[in-house]
Structure 1
Amino acid sequence: MGKMVTIANETSSVDAYLSEPAGTPKGGLIVIHEVWGLVEHTKDVADRFAAAGYVVLAPSLLADTGMTPELAAELQVTLFDPEQRSIAQPKLREIMAPLHAPAFAARTTASLQACFEYLYGLPGVDGKVAVTGFCLGGTYSFSLATQEPRLRAAVPFYGHADLSVEQLRKIACPVLAFYGEQDAALVDKLPEQQKQMAEAGVEFTPVVYPATGHAFFNDTNRWTFNSEAADDSWRRTLGFLDEAMTAEG
């Protein structure tokens, strides 16, 4: 359905998958991939959102890290298989090391801002742009919300929000966040995160799915996919986005 394009502004250039609706768009949506990079699953999710009425950009943020689709497929299988996890972890740590550098965060932020500006200025989008993302993309969905006051909505799936109250106060849009109950690294922090969001005045709605872990939305990962949680979060996301796009402002 979609095609690869290059999105550029004065400070950044990034390749991205562009998927467009058949009719008049409801708005624009940035879809940020998991730690596996811009794989076919992410493009499929972008196409689903386009079929629901959105102009979608899914940027390729790991192109320079060596994370190829082939390697991503291999690591995804071995990392979540209890019998093979020890094989995958060293490889994943090596690939992921550059992602913790300030330069990567700055480059990624600039790329997401370029995507936002592209969508914001499209005819028919009328300045109505939201963001969603998964895992790494969930984390950067929170991050973009702190940096772009024109966002209409943010929908992070199992992302980290290791941000101060001062940073959270910069979020001007409603946030709908999804978690799996068994994803302890995130769920254990959620009560404190809710307190901070309330203190910052953010409209924050967390949804935690019982007996569910990380990456429950990824239907290409047989170890983590949960169809009930995926279907419910999809329904909630579309309703949340539709409401945000039709709100005044």
Structure 2
Amino acid sequence: MGHMLTISNSIISNNRTSVEAYVSEPAGEPKGGLIVIHEVWGLVDHTKDVADRFAAEGYLVLVPDLLAETAMTPELATELQATLSDPEQRSKVQPKLRELMAPLHAPGFAERTLASLQACFEHLYAIPALAGRVAVSGFCFGGTYSFSLAVSEPRLRAAVPFYGHADLPVEQLRHIACPVLAFYGEKDAALVDKLPELTERMDEAGIGFASVVYPGTGHAFFNDTNAWTYDADASEDAWQRTLGFLAKSFAA
């Protein structure tokens, strides 16, 4: 089991950044450091469990609480996920969801979020035992910000976004200095339809980009607490691919 830690004293863009993060540590010498970025539901138990699973594989993991300024709670997240999966109830809950998610679209949110992620990166990067081996992985909201952190931090060793958006021009993608492995569910049309274009832009930018699309699955297929989206086979395959990708990236 992990614990909460305040990551602070990192100067990013002339602002002092402080963020609460869940920390999960391996039993022995760490293979590397990993930032895990939660879904749009915030720092719920599922994300902490994913961090603990990575720690059991030998990684020192930080999960920043990036949505602390919203009114989202783990209980509300569970309720909303269930309601959104019911076609008859979905329209009723969408206004509430838009209200809760409004802070994500407020001016400065993206900059503050990246500053928090950068603070977590600097914290891990400064740990001698990690020897500069730091990667990022994230889900949904976290998948999108995994791409963003890869663009802004050239010292990252790997990025593993799960069903994240990367609507970025080639000029920005060229700043990525690490390999990227991205996962998608076939039914997640909003992302899968754009994947060929993203692949072309990644190729043009000279990025080592690989993607896996799992047939018959949709968004959030990795979330085993969401009975409406979870796919055990796709989840296990993505997990094993992620572990292999991290091991290869940290060994490079």
**Given the two structures, how large is their TM-score scaled by the length of structure 1?**
0.98
Secondary structure of 1:162's aligned partner: coil
Structure 1 residue runs without a partner (length 5+): none
Q: Which amino acid aligns with 1:2?
A: G
- The question of whether the paired residues in 1 share the 8 Å contact of 2:214 and 2:234 is answered with yes
Distance 1:202 1:223 in 2: 34
Listed one character per residue, the Cα deviations across residues 180-221 of structure 1 (whole Å, up to 9, x for unaligned) are 000000000001010000000010001000010000000000
Q: Distance in 1 between matches of 2:211 and 2:107?
A: 28
For residue 209 of structure 2, the aligned residue among 204, 214, 226 is 204
Does residue 70 (structure 1) correspond to residue 75 (structure 2)? The answer is: yes
- 1:70 deviation in Å? 1.4
Q: Distance in 2 between matches of 1:169 and 1:123?
A: 29
Distance (whole Å) between structure 1 residues aligned to residue 107 and residue 34 of structure 2: 26
Which letter does structure 1 place at the counterpart of 2:77? A
Q: Which residue of 2 aligns with 1:151?
A: 156
CA-based RMSD of the aligned residues comes to 0.7
Residues 38-75 of structure 1 deviation map (CA, whole Å, 9 limit, x = unaligned): 00000000000000000000000001111111111111
Q: Which residue of 2 aligns with 1:175?
A: 180
Q: C-alpha displacement at 1:32, in angstroms?
A: 0.1
Q: 1 CA distance for matches of 2:136 and 2:238? A: 15
Q: 1:83 and 1:51 mapped to 2: Cα distance?
A: 41
SS of 2:128's equivalent in the other structure is coil
Q: Is the 8 A contact 1:81 1:223 kept in 2?
A: no
Instruction: State how 1:45-124 maps to structure 2 within 5 Å.
Output: 45-124=50-129
2:246 is aligned to 241
Matched, 1:4 2:4: yes
Note the alpha carbon deviations across 1:54-99, whole angstroms, 9 max, x for none. 0000000001111111111111111122232112211111111220
* More displaced stretch, 86-95 vs 54-63: 86-95
The AA in structure 2 aligned to 1:207 is: V
CA contact (8 A) 1:157 1:179 kept: yes
Which amino acid in structure 2 is aligned with residue 146 of structure 1? V
Matched, 1:22 2:20: no
Question: How far off is 1:101 after superposition?
Answer: 2.4
Does structure 2 conserve the Cα–Cα contact (< 8 Å) formed by 1:15 and 1:59?
yes
Residue pair 1:181, 1:212 contacting (<8 A) in 2 also: yes
For residue 213 of structure 2, what is the amino acid of its counterpart?
A: V
Contact between 2:69 and 2:103, CA under 8 Å: does it hold in 1? no
- Amino acid paired to 2:124: L
CA distance in 1, matches of 2:117, 2:93: 29
Query: What does the per-residue CA deviation read over 1:134-171, in whole Å, with 9 as the maximum and x for residues that have no partner?
Result: 00000000000000000000000000001010000000
Segments of 5+ residues of structure 2 without an aligned counterpart are none
Matches of 1:223 and 1:81, distance apart in 2: 9
Does the 8 Å contact 1:139/1:156 carry over to 2?
yes
Aligned amino acid, residue 3 of structure 2: K
Q: Residue 38 of structure 2 aligns with which residue?
A: 33
Aligned-pair identity (%): 74
CA 1:203–1:102 in 2, change beyond 3 Å: closer, same or farther? farther
Q: Return 168-177 or 1-10, whichever deviates more.
A: 1-10
* SS of match in other structure, 2:130: coil
